[in-house]
Amino acid sequence: MKTPPLPFSVPRWAALALLAVAAAMPVPVRADAEPSLPNILFIVSDDLQACMGAYENPVCQTPNLDRLASEGVRFSNAYCQYPVCGPSRNSFMSGLYPGLTRMKGNKKALGAFHLTNEDLAEHPSIGQFLKEHGYFSARVSKIYHMGVPGGIEAGEPGGDDPDTWDVAFNVLAPETYSQGLFELLTPNRLHYGSNFASVIVPNELDATQADSMAATQAIAILENRVKGTMEGQTNHTKVKPGQPFFLAVGLVRPHVPLVAPQRFFDLYSVEDMKLPAVPEGDLDDVPEPARAMNNEGRYDMDELQQRKALAAYYASVSFMDWQVGRLLDALDRLDLRKNTIVVFISDHGYNLGEHHCWQKLSLFEDSTRVPLIVSAPGFEASAGQTSGAVVELIDLYPTFADLTGLKDQAPAALHGTSLRPLLENPTAAEWTKDAAYTVTHLKGESLRTSRWRYNYWGDAGEELYDHLTDPGEFENLAGYTEHMDTLNSMRALLEKKRTESQTLKK
Ligand SMILES: [Ca+2]
């Protein structure tokens, strides 16, 4: 450590004597001392549509996420970069578009964004970056890709990147084999990672579930950290006194199978579930790949099965929300909340019958849009506000770097932009992102601007929707001559985004 200069001129021997005396004295805590670096609690839900109470859904009950939203900024136009687990997670953990990570499926290779593009061999994930700058970095359950339910049933790490973490915990839970009332709702689809199966678990068995175990483990890490910091211990979680943490907690619900305790199923009556309104012939004007997730042929759920799937999905969301509440309560109890940035996201969105589509992969609004809530110390003036700015999950890495004071050290390669201006002012005019860019299977690419959605499916065709007049994306305007100018500007913007997504900035 460098010796600080003295504010007045003294002989060298006197200065050394003064410093020696000062070093022997107990260090008083100055009232104006630099605040310690903020902790980060990063909660990642799986396959969650922005369908919660905080997102103006009056049916789906999420009191704890609503509470978090009231303490932070809720982003109503946040989009994933790929509507599937693995590619989306690698994208936001690397801060790079999938065009550069080149991860387009749920590959299981370790640290896949390092392996799929050798130019990224030295590129640190957000956890590794924070670790290299003094943070303790921990993972609980699914942050990079893990197979659900198979990987959870086996307790495997999935496509993890070990360099991201100081410690990582996998959970091993029964998922589809949970004790309880099992029902398969998709007679035409037997694959357990993509069928709709519900399991109503007895209330007293809630602790057997993956997300209960993950929250319990995360709370143990928080308690251990606080205790270790207080006692100056170096214990099994390698805590150094005063060391800030980056704790990433993956919650696997509401990914199928839809397993939740009885009391969460009791919140939703199947009879009362309303399926999204879909106009007659809705999918007649879209290219073939846009229909890939259609119920017909893929799931073949009848109307009752669809309403049961919706009720079970909401029950799973409320169960996941309960775990968020346990984590927030632990932060409060341990007096960590005031110095902890809490961020909640889903890895991508989800279709729950919109356009007769179910699950992910589509480029429709509900599949690409994600819930994003940021509650950070120092931005209390914006608490409870909503930002309608178009933002992307790749904006998280630069946001974390910025809010921890490490903006200048962040890798030049990052594709995103710090959300700080929107945390200071949710309607900030200086936010200039022109579009969110999402890619998917079947060569699909999508742009979402504040007004338009443009989908490009290669030779199969295009879609253009005007969110000012058609928020449901029912009328494809791509073939209308009066929208040719818009279509051409979207084509040009897509070209620009595609190039940007494949370019490694130095
Ligand atoms: Ca997912």
Residue 145 CA to ligand 1 centre (angstroms): 8
Q: What is the pLDDT of residue 23?
A: 42
* Helices then strands, each counted (H, E), the chain: 15, 17
Q: Percent of the chain beyond pLDDT 90? A: 83
Q: pTM of whole model > 0.85?
A: yes
Residue 74 CA to ligand 1 centre (angstroms): 20
Q: What is the pLDDT of residue 53?
A: 86
Pairing of strands 258-261, 197-201: parallel
Q: What is the pLDDT of residue 429?
A: 87
Look up residue 291 and give its two tokens: 């229909």
Residue 9 CA to ligand 1 centre (angstroms): 64
Residue 430 CA to ligand 1 centre (angstroms): 32
Q: What is the pLDDT of residue 36?
A: 79
Mean pLDDT of 456-460: 97
E strand or H helix at 197: strand 197-201
Look up residue 262 and give its two tokens: 């009885």
Q: What is the pLDDT of residue 237?
A: 52
Residue 349 CA to ligand 1 centre (angstroms): 8
Q: What is the pLDDT of residue 4?
A: 41
Partnered with residue 370 across adjacent β-strands are: 78
Mean pLDDT of 458-486: 97
Mean pLDDT of 357-371: 97
Residue 383 CA to ligand 1 centre (angstroms): 28
Look up residue 2 and give its two tokens: 């460098």
Q: What CA–CA distance (Å, rounded) separates 20 from 8? A: 17
Domains of the chain by residue range: 39-501
pLDDT band at 21 (very low <50, low <70, confident <90, very high): very low
pLDDT band at 22 (very low <50, low <70, confident <90, very high): very low
Which of 416, 326, 343, 346 shows the shortest CA–CA distance to 379?
343
CATH among 3.40.50.2000, 2.30.40.10, 3.40.720.10, 3.40.50.620 for 39-501: 3.40.720.10
Q: What is the pLDDT of residue 112?
A: 87
Q: What is the pLDDT of residue 107?
A: 78
Answer whether residue 168 shows pLDDT above 50: yes
pLDDT band at 467 (very low <50, low <70, confident <90, very high): very high
Answer whether residue 121 shows pLDDT above 50: yes
Q: What is the pLDDT of residue 231?
A: 56
pLDDT digits (tens, 9 = 90+) for 371-384: 999 999 999 999 99
* Residue 433 burial class via C-beta count within 10 angstroms: exposed 0-12, middle 13-18, buried 19 and up: middle
Answer whether residue 96 shows pLDDT above 90: yes
Q: What is the pLDDT of residue 373?
A: 98
Answer whether residue 10 shows pLDDT above 80: no
User: 3-class DSSP state for residue 241?
Assistant: coil
Look up residue 208 and give its two tokens: 């057997």
Crossing angle (nearest 10°) for helices 303-333 and 210-231: 10
Look up residue 416 and give its two tokens: 């995103």
Residue 234 CA to ligand 1 centre (angstroms): 35
Q: Which residues contact 281 (CB under 8 A, 6 or more apart)?
A: none
pLDDT digits (tens, 9 = 90+) for 388-430: 999 999 999 999 999 999 999 999 999 999 999 999 999 988 9
From residue 253, alpha-carbon distances to 81, 173, 279, 318, 415 in Å are 20, 13, 30, 9, 29
Residue 185 CA to ligand 1 centre (angstroms): 20
Average pLDDT of the chain? 91
Q: Which residue has the higher pLDDT, 245 or 104?
A: 245
pLDDT band at 294 (very low <50, low <70, confident <90, very high): very high
Crossing angle (nearest 10°) for helices 63-70 and 303-333: 50
Residue 83 CA to ligand 1 centre (angstroms): 8
DSSP string, 291-328: GTTBHHHHT---HHHHHHHHHHHHHHHHHHHHHHHHHH
User: 3-class DSSP state for residue 322?
Assistant: helix
DSSP at 294: B
Q: What CA–CA distance (Å, rounded) separates 153 from 171? A: 8
Answer whether residue 253 shows pLDDT above 90: yes
Q: What CA–CA distance (Å, rounded) separates 440 from 265? A: 32
pLDDT band at 193 (very low <50, low <70, confident <90, very high): confident
Residue 429 CA to ligand 1 centre (angstroms): 32
Q: What CA–CA distance (Å, rounded) separates 503 from 96? A: 10
Q: What CA–CA distance (Å, rounded) separates 64 from 327? A: 10
Answer whether residue 113 shows pLDDT above 70: yes
Mean pLDDT of 467-494: 97
Q: What CA–CA distance (Å, rounded) separates 38 from 337? A: 10
pLDDT band at 493 (very low <50, low <70, confident <90, very high): very high
Residue 410 CA to ligand 1 centre (angstroms): 27
Residue 235 CA to ligand 1 centre (angstroms): 33
Look up residue 270 and give its two tokens: 């199947």
Q: What CA–CA distance (Å, rounded) separates 417 from 398? A: 6
Q: What is the pLDDT of residue 158?
A: 93
Contact 319, 330 (CB under 8 A): no
Answer whether residue 267 shows pLDDT above 50: yes
* Residue 74 phi, psi dihedral angles, 5° rounding: -100, 130
Residue 347 CA to ligand 1 centre (angstroms): 5
Residue 109 CA to ligand 1 centre (angstroms): 17
